[in-house]
A = this chain, B = another copy of it.
Amino acid sequence: MTRLLVLHGPNLNRLGLRETDIYGTLTLDQINDRLRQYAAAKGISVHPVQSNHEGELIDQLHHAQTTYQGVVFNPAGYTHTSVALRDAVAAIDLPVVEVHLSNISGREDFRRVSLIAPVCAGQISGFGWRSYLLGIEAVLGCLHEG
């Protein structure tokens, strides 16, 4: 059975509580529930983890190598500043898809470039919680293509 890690970066535990015009009104728990249902309907499983700690996110990516077949990763605020997370993605041999709730190309200048996306399979941004659904589909596509 295909198992995917859904890795949520910093501050995503605050979803639905603040800045709902940017990130939407769903809480992280509600999003995770929807992702689990969606996965179950497809016969796969998703395992959401959230951390505000860059080091913890690196550890999770390393750990994913032996536990999951792919990763849907929202690096949030670390997207634009973390070479270490980029290296962590490059250091594992799994399809990793970067997702964002908001359309980062239309926000502040410093959010326009991702340090991590170049070593991911691809990037999806702008579709709210549905970005995760598309991310799951994208990882499955990568696995399917081999």
Question: What are the interface flags for A58-92 relative to B under an 8 Å C-beta threshold, 1 for contact and 0 otherwise?
Answer: 11001000000000000011111111111110111
Instruction: Report A51 CB to chain B, min CB distance, Å.
Output: 7
A55 adjacent to B52 (CB under 8 Å)? yes
Bound CA–CA A38/B126 (angstroms): 23
Chain A residues within 8 Å of chain B by Cβ, number? 64
A18 neighbours in B (Cβ, 8 Å): 90-93
A123 adjacent to B105 (CB under 8 Å)? yes
**Contact of A76 (CB < 8 Å), options: B14, B84, B105, B119:** B84
A119 adjacent to B93 (CB under 8 Å)? no
Known: A11-B58, A18-B93. A105 touches B127 (CB 8 A): no
- The interface of chain A, by Cβ under 8 A from chain B, is 9-11, 13-14, 17-19, 51-56, 58-59, 62, 76-88, 90-93, 103, 105-106, 110-115, 117-128, 130-131, 133-134, 137-138, 141-142, 145
**Contact of A124 (CB < 8 Å), options: B85, B119, B122:** B122
**Contact of A91 (CB < 8 Å), options: B14, B87, B92, B113:** B14
A17 adjacent to B91 (CB under 8 Å)? yes
A91 neighbours in B (Cβ, 8 Å): 11, 14, 17-19
A93 neighbours in B (Cβ, 8 Å): 18
Bound CA–CA A37/B79 (angstroms): 36
B110 adjacent to A123 (CB under 8 Å)? no
